[in-house]
Every structure is written in C-alpha cells, then in structure tokens.
Amino acid sequence: MKSSIPSQMLASELEEIVGEAHISTKETDKLVYSTDWFWVPQMFLDRGEAITTPDYIVRPGSAEEISRILKLASAYRVPVVPWGGGSGSQGGALPIYGGILLDTKRLDQIIDIDEVSLTVTAQAGINGAQLEWELNEKGLTLPHYPASANCATLGGYLAPRGSGTLSTKYGKAEDLVLGMEVVLPNGDIIRTPPVPQHAAGPDFYRLFLGSEGTFGVITEATMQLDYLPETRLFRAVLFDDLHNAIEAGRLMMTRRLDPTVIRLYDSKSTASRIKRILGHDLDGAYMVLGFDGDPDIAALQEQKAMEICLELNARDLGREPGEAWWEHRYDFYYPPQNLKLPWMYGTTETVATFDKIEKLYYAEKEAVEQQFKEWKVDFIAHFSHWFHWGSMIYSRFIIEEPPEDPREALELHNRVWQAAMTAVLENGGMVNEHHGVGLKLARYMRRQYGDAWPFLESLKRAIDPSGIMNPGKVGFGVG
Amino acid sequence: MKLNNPIDTVENCRYCLMCRHVAPVGHITKDETLTPHGIALTVASQRRGLIQWNRETVAVIYSEPDGGNCRAHCITDQPLPEAIAAVRAELTAQDLAPAIVYRVHEALEKWHTPFGEERLAPATGRAEVALFVGDEAHYLWPSALEGALKLLEAVGLRPTLIGRGRSSGYLASSLGFPETATRQGQELLAELSASGASRLLVLSPGDYFTFNQLYPERLGIALPPEVALNDVASVLAEALADGRLPLRASEEPTPYAYVDPTHAVRVPQRFDAPRALVGAVMPSAPLELFWRRERAHPVGSTALQFTRPELADALTRARLEDAKNRGAELLICEDPGSLYQLKQHAGALSLRVKGLYELLAEHIAC
Ligand SMILES: Cc1cc2nc3c(=O)[nH]c(=O)nc-3n(C[C@H](O)[C@H](O)[C@H](O)COP(=O)(O)OP(=O)(O)OC[C@H]3O[C@@H](n4cnc5c(N)ncnc54)[C@H](O)[C@@H]3O)c2cc1C
Ligand code: SF4
C-alpha cells in the first residue's frame, strides 16, 4: 500500500490539533459519515454501492481548535464539511469531495442560561433534546421544536434555517438567535453581540444563517427562550375542502390570533397518515390547531379560531384528536412507520404568500402526479408553518417501486425533483422553507435568485477565497 | 416468544436517528458510528458487501453496552440490542470476535462467571419464594444480598437462594454465545423448579430484564407461567407503602443522589420504588441526576467492561461527574454490578457509594 505524503502530513497535523482520540480514518467511521439523511446517498448504500467518504473525521473541542483546522485546510486546500447530527435531508453534510469532516458534537456545553432575559448561550454541537431537557429543568424552553430534536444540533438548527412544530407562533430557528460565534474560513473567530435588536449597520451575522457551512463554522449561539407554557390547548377540525381550510388559516394569521400550531393535512395525507398514526378514518382536510401560554388568553384565541373554522363549514372533532396528534407527532419518524428504502421519496417543501399558496399546491401536485403516473407516485402534503403573509407547504412524493438500478433510480429521482421545482418556481414559490439547500437543491439556486445570484457568489468568494468550506453546497461552485 | 431474524432490525435502524439523544456511547464519544444508527448501518453495510468484518469493524459491534436505551425509547420497539447480540453470535461462530470475548466465555463455561474461580453448586433448599443471587451480588457486592435478606425477613419473606455465584446468562447472550446463555438459563430454571418456589425475586432491573424478556426473546426459554417475577425494590416499596416495612430515619446529612442502575430503562415501572425507599430513611429527597429514569445511562453490569473497558469507565465517570455537578457527595444504588463499577471511580471525585439494601437494612425499626 502506498502512503500519500500530504495526506499523512495533514493527518498528523490534525492529530496535533485535536488529539489522537478525536481524529479517525477508520473504515467504519468513513462509511457512517459518508451519508446524511439525503435519499440519494442512502439509496446508493442501500443498493450496495460505495460512495465518496471523508478522508478524515475530526472532532474538535473548541472554537480555537476549529480555527487551527480551517487554517490548515486553507494551507493544504482541503475541503472542510461541518457536521452536526447528520440529520439534514439535503445532502448538506455530505463530504462529496472527501477532505475533512468536522463533527461539531464535542462542542456540547451550555455556557449560560440567563433566567432574567430568557436566553441561553450554548455551544453549537449540543444535541437539541439534551439542550431542551436542561432548559426544562428550569421551567424554560427553546421554542424550536423540530421533529429531529433527538438527533440534530443547535448549529444544525441554524445553518440550514430550520423550522419547528411551533414556528407559527415562535418563529423559525433563525428568528430565535440573538448572537453567534463563528469561525471564518481564514481561521478568524468572530462574535456578534447578543442583543434583542439594533441598528448598528447590516445584520451581517444573518449571513451565516442558511449558509450551511459554506461561510464558516458556527461554534456558539445565544438563543431566545420562553417559559414552558402554562397551558397547551389542541383541537382538531375537519374541512370538506382544502380551499376553506387555507382560508381559515389565513384569517387566523392575518387577524393575529397567534396560534402555536396550524397543521393542515391535504385529503391524501388525512386518509393515509392521520389514519395510520392516529387511527382516524376521515375524508377531507384535517387541521390541528394549537394555542399556548396564559390559559385565559389561549382559550379566547382558540374560541376565535374555532369561530372562523365553523363559519367556513369545518367540523369540530374536539380536543382528543388534537391532543393525540401532539402526543404522537413524532411517531411518523420512527421506522417502519416512516418512509423507507428501497422506496423513493423526497420532501419538496415550499413557501409562498397567501395569494399564491393554493395555486402553488395544485400546480406542484399536478406536475408530480401527472408526469410520474406510470410510477404510481403518491403526492401528499400538509401546511405546517404559517406566517402572517403566507404559509409553507410540506409536500412529499413517494414512489414505492422505483428502479432497482441506482443510476436509473437517481435519474428518476432528479426528474421528479425537476418537475416539482419547476412548478414551484413558476408559481411564485421558494425552493424550500426550512430544510436548506445542501447538494439537493444547489442546481436551482441560480434560477431561484436570478440577477441576485452573482451577488451571493461574490460574497462566497470574499468570505472563503480558497473555497474550502463545504464546496458544492448551497449552489456555490455549481453551474 | 423468541424473536425471528432479529438482525433484520438493522434495516430499520440504519437510517433512524430518533434515539440518538439517549445513546450512551454515542454521547460520551460523540462518534456517529457508535450510535444505534451507526452500528445498524455498519451491520447493514456488511450484509451488502460494503465492508468486511475485521478487527476494526468488529470492534464497533462490541462497543455497544446492551443496556437497552435505544429500544426503551423506540416507539416501534425495534429490538436493536437483540439484533446486535445476534450479530455477535455470528461473529463468535466464525471466530471473528475480539480475544477477550473468548476469554470471558471460557470463564463463563468453566466457573459460570468471570468474577471468581469456584463453581458453586445449585441450591437444594425449598421455599415458596426464591431469590436469584447471580454472580455480581455474590462476588462484587455481597452486602447487597445480606441487606436484601434482612429486609425481606422484616416483611415476612424467607427466600431460598438460587444462582449463587452464577451468571444468569445475560453476559453470555450479550457477548454472542446464545447456546451458553441458554444452557445457563435452563440450569437456573431447573434450580428454580427444584426449589418449588412460585415466586422469583431479583435484586436488580438487569436480572428482571433477563428473566422477563431476554430469556424468551433471545433464548426461547421462559419462567414457568405459574412463577411470579418481582424485583426486591418494588416488593419492599409496596411493603413500605402498606406500613409493613418500618424504617427509622437516618440522620446522615450528606447530600446524596440516587443512581438508576444499568438496565433501569428496561423496567420503567420500577423507577419510583427505589426512590420511595431511599426517601423513607434519608432526611431529604435524593438529588436527581441529569441522566436519570428513562434516560439513565448504564454504569457497569454489561459486557462493555470486558470488550471496551475504556468506554465502560468513561460512562461511569460521566455518571459520577453528573452527580458531582448536582452537588451530591454520596451515591445510592441497589444493583451490585453498578455499585461495584461506581466504587471503582468514585474516590477520584471524592464521592462515596452506598448500597440501597444495606442502607435500608441498617434502618429497620425494630
Ligand atoms: C427525522 C427527521 C425529522 C426532521 N424534522 C425537521 C423539522 O421538523 N424541521 C427542520 O427544520 N428540519 C427537520 N429535519 C431536517 C434536519 O434535521 C434539520 O435540518 C436539522 O436542523 C439539521 O441539524 P443537524 O445538526 O443534523 O445538521 P447536519 O445535518 O449535520 O448539517 C446540516 C447542514 O448544516 C451544516 N452545519 C451543521 N452544523 C454546522 C455548524 N455548527 N456550523 C456551520 N454549518 C453547520 C452542515 O454542513 C450541513 O450543510 C428533520 C430530519 C430528520 C432526520
Ligand atoms: S431502536 Fe428505534 S429509535 Fe433507535 S435507531 Fe432503531 S428504529 Fe430508531
């Protein structure tokens, strides 16, 4: 076996930085870190085909160590891919050019919980559920509740701009950030002050939200907290048609009834998922409503919301199905209830303003269902994160019998995505609302942003002139 | 009922990350490979020819403690620990397991335990109630048995002892020797049957799990249906609640924590029993650790002390640091194996360790 001198040099220098116990070139580690939650790499492994692995897996223990790693990577011109929990569905953490896989999970400390201002400052590699348990012990909560809290990290919440179950009231992960510490590609460590808001120039820290590791490594964040709510009220209603259901959601949002949750399932989701997980056999559009906080205020908000729903001919299903949904909301993610290989699936989620949302839903549905009829494609959707001006559509396609050959499967997968994204872009939607871009959506970024895209590219060049940070992701370096 | 093809479970777990937050070794190492997902993906990849079994890949399979955290948190009850035990059985059958695994197995075959070098004969006494002693209580923490017997006597139970100094079969099963485990289990069941007991008591959640779940699921053997299985802490807690166990309050002012032992997560119905008991004698309620109850990490009493002692030690130190951070100076636990493991490292953090049964026995009100 030949030894590559630069590769051995780099390994030894990395070891000097993080210590022998925190660098690995083991076969199993390379395999396990070769895939995140993106369907494509999982599919290749499922079909017994090896994929690109990282050359080194390093687990730094501080921002200073990360700074030294990035300086080293710049010197050797080696790619660095930040890794949190590897739960991203977009291929953002894939080491597509090998290089250094930088696992942030050793940065798992809570630095401060400020019980007066209600903030927490924590290192970026902390596990979401563990952070939440710590906060709960003080009666506090970080109101970002993604279904991946058990496995994702704080940095992974922020880097792809995630949304949680309660985002309709509390905002996306990015809306909860007050300040961050980031290691830049040149090794500089920068911090932004954790203040509620300010006007001291551009909000440059926001650049790192959504940069998915292409601009640097987030090492620490100060996040807004809330008290654990005194009450959480859930209720379910059933609409005969989606149009009225969307209108009900729109009225609740534009009248600022402040729902914690509006989750609206289209009729196919209602018939499949709600039936399978909650056991309710219903025909129509199932909507879960949630209100929380002060019991009197929440009850009043719920009452007003119910008035809107009933006026739009909804059937009140009562509390039990709403509460059961809250109780079982993550059951959907446990195998074998979840989507699983060898099936083909993808979450083609999108977001738009209210004036476009219904048309967008039908356009995407039709594009996918019509063009891939022969593959018996299933298109299901729910509307899960609502804003005062619009909503997101969490749409999914599922093909239960895709081609066995991985290359044919990939080709079909990309065609379905192409159809869905074309419909989205032609109907005023965004290519995503919360899963990030990663590798999966990289090829749509130029089209998404048009004339603004070169500006983003020039920012990337300015921040990361050597192009070491997570190359090929978010569309940087992609045609 | 014996599980069919448990290894197939890895097909579910390989891309599932939903129990990562409670995965003990993944937590202390931060190594993605040493999580349920990583181990399952390793096995699934070997089945697909993407990796071969070798020293390095086999070491991954022997890095999981078999403490049950993943399954305890799994909404669809995927038997991943059982799958890993089955993979280990394939490895031992092909002579691919680490050398230490065979050495422990040899001791299990010869002495029924890796902790001592005498083969104790099965008991011959007969009684309504039997108490399984096992090898950890016999060799590692004998005062737990003495304490438990005094307490049981105080509530009117005089059990005959079975399995003195002998492993239940858990260790053999966990290391990948199901035949040995089955043989050991069958011998214990024969001893139980010879005792005429209609009730079997166990000292720890690990033993409860073994008789209640491991035997039928992994080995296809079972306690006779007419024999009731109870753990001593639950029996005592019930007696305490009924006023049948009079205990004196202790004046020990030391801040203390109760440590949920290894396998506690596998028997969630008994989380409160040891807490009620300890609370009955200590002047204050126990400090609660961060890694407690349904998320308690294992500490001793698994095969990991043999296969990856450095990981077992790191897990133990983490529990001790957890206790220290909470302000505890004394740790209380009922499981002999966990107590022994805690004791090995407690001194380094100036912590003391005390067995629950001994503590309670010292405070029986006459
Ligand atoms: C079961 C399941 C349910 C999910 N549910 C949700 C949901 O409800 N809401 C939601 O928003 N998402 C969800 N996701 C998607 C995914 O979990 C989230 O995007 C999550 O926040 C990613 O976190 P992670 O730590 O796993 O990041 P990773 O997957 O490791 O990384 C994601 C991206 O961020 C980059 N990155 C990670 N850490 C850093 C850092 N410290 N600095 C810079 N860049 C970094 C990576 O390079 C990569 O590009 C789900 C995924 C799964 C598997
Ligand atoms: S045991 Fe359950 S939760 Fe854990 S990885 Fe397997 S399927 Fe997921």
CATH class of B129-239: alpha beta
Say yes or no to pLDDT of A393 above 70.
Answer: yes
Say yes or no to pLDDT of B233 above 70.
Answer: yes
Question: Is residue B128 less than 8 Å (CB to CB) from chain A?
Answer: no
The protein residue whose alpha carbon is closest to atom 35 in ligand 1 is A212
* A226, A258 Cβ separation under 8 angstroms: no
Distance CA B176, CA B97 (A): 9
DSSP B142-164: HHHHHHHHHHHHHTT--PEEEEE
Among the listed residues B270, B266, B324, B263, the one whose alpha carbon sits nearest the alpha carbon of residue B299:
B263
pTM: 0.97
Best probe of the B interface among A20, A22, A32, by most B CBs < 10 A, is A32
pLDDT tier, A479 (very low <50, low <70, confident <90, very high otherwise): low
Least confident of A3-12, A192-201, B53-62, B356-365: A3-12
A289: Cβ below 6 Å to ligand 1? no
Quick one: which atom of ligand 1 is closest to the CA of A470? 47
Question: Is residue B25 less than 8 Å (CB to CB) from chain A?
Answer: no
Q: Where are the domains of chain B?
A: 6-96, 129-239, 242-361
> Between β-strands A231-239 and A285-293, what pairing exists: parallel, antiparallel or unpaired?
antiparallel
Distance CA A473, CA B338 (A): 47
Q: Domains along chain A?
A: 4-105 (3.30.43.10), 110-227 (3.30.465.10), 231-333 (3.30.70.3450), 344-440 (3.30.300.330)
* Residues from chain A contacting residue B12 (CB–CB below 8 Å): 335-336, 340
Determine whether the interchain pair B48/A335 forms a contact, defined as Cβ–Cβ distance below 8 Å. no
Mean pLDDT rounded to a whole number for chain B: 97
Report pLDDT for A337. 82
* Residues from chain B contacting residue A338 (CB–CB below 8 Å): 16
pLDDT digits (tens, 9 = 90+) for A184-207: 999 999 999 899 889 999 999 999
Which tokens belong to B137?
Answer: 């209580």
* Residues from chain A contacting residue B15 (CB–CB below 8 Å): 37, 42, 335, 340-341
> Between β-strands A140-141 and A119-123, what pairing exists: parallel, antiparallel or unpaired?
unpaired
Quick one: which atom of ligand 2 is closest to the CA of B77? 2
* B306, B100 Cβ separation under 8 angstroms: yes
A80 phi and psi angles, rounded to 5 deg: -125, 125
Say yes or no to pLDDT of B321 above 70.
Answer: yes
Residue in A24, A28, A151 closest to B20 by CB = A151
Report pLDDT for A311. 98
> Between β-strands A226-227 and A140-141, what pairing exists: parallel, antiparallel or unpaired?
antiparallel
Distance A353 CA to ligand 2 centre (A): 38
pLDDT digits (tens, 9 = 90+) for B237-285: 999 999 999 999 998 889 999 999 999 999 999 999 999 999 999 999 8
Nearest bound ligand to the CA of residue A91 = 1
Which tokens belong to A129?
Answer: 């559920």
Distance B45 CA to ligand 2 centre (A): 17
Higher confidence at residue B121 or residue A377? A377
Question: Is residue B33 less than 8 Å (CB to CB) from chain A?
Answer: yes
Determine whether the interchain pair B56/A28 forms a contact, defined as Cβ–Cβ distance below 8 Å. yes
* A46, A83 Cβ separation under 8 angstroms: no
- Minimal Cα–Cα distance from B22 to chain A, Å? 8
| Topology given in CATH for the domain delimited by B242-361 | Rossmann fold (3.40.50)
Quick one: which atom of ligand 2 is closest to the CA of B73? 3
Ligand 2 pocket test, pick from B80, B84, B294, B295 with the greatest ligand atom count within 8 Å of Cβ, gives B80
Q: Reduced to 3 states, what is the DSSP secondary structure of residue A46? A: helix
pLDDT tier, A477 (very low <50, low <70, confident <90, very high otherwise): confident
pLDDT tier, A336 (very low <50, low <70, confident <90, very high otherwise): confident
User: C-alpha distances in angstroms, B283 versus A445, B192, B238, B249?
Assistant: 64, 39, 20, 7
pLDDT, mean of residues B94-123: 95
Q: How far is CA B303 from the centre of its chain?
A: 10
Instruction: Check if the interface score ipTM surpasses 0.90.
Output: yes
B78: Cβ below 6 Å to ligand 2? yes
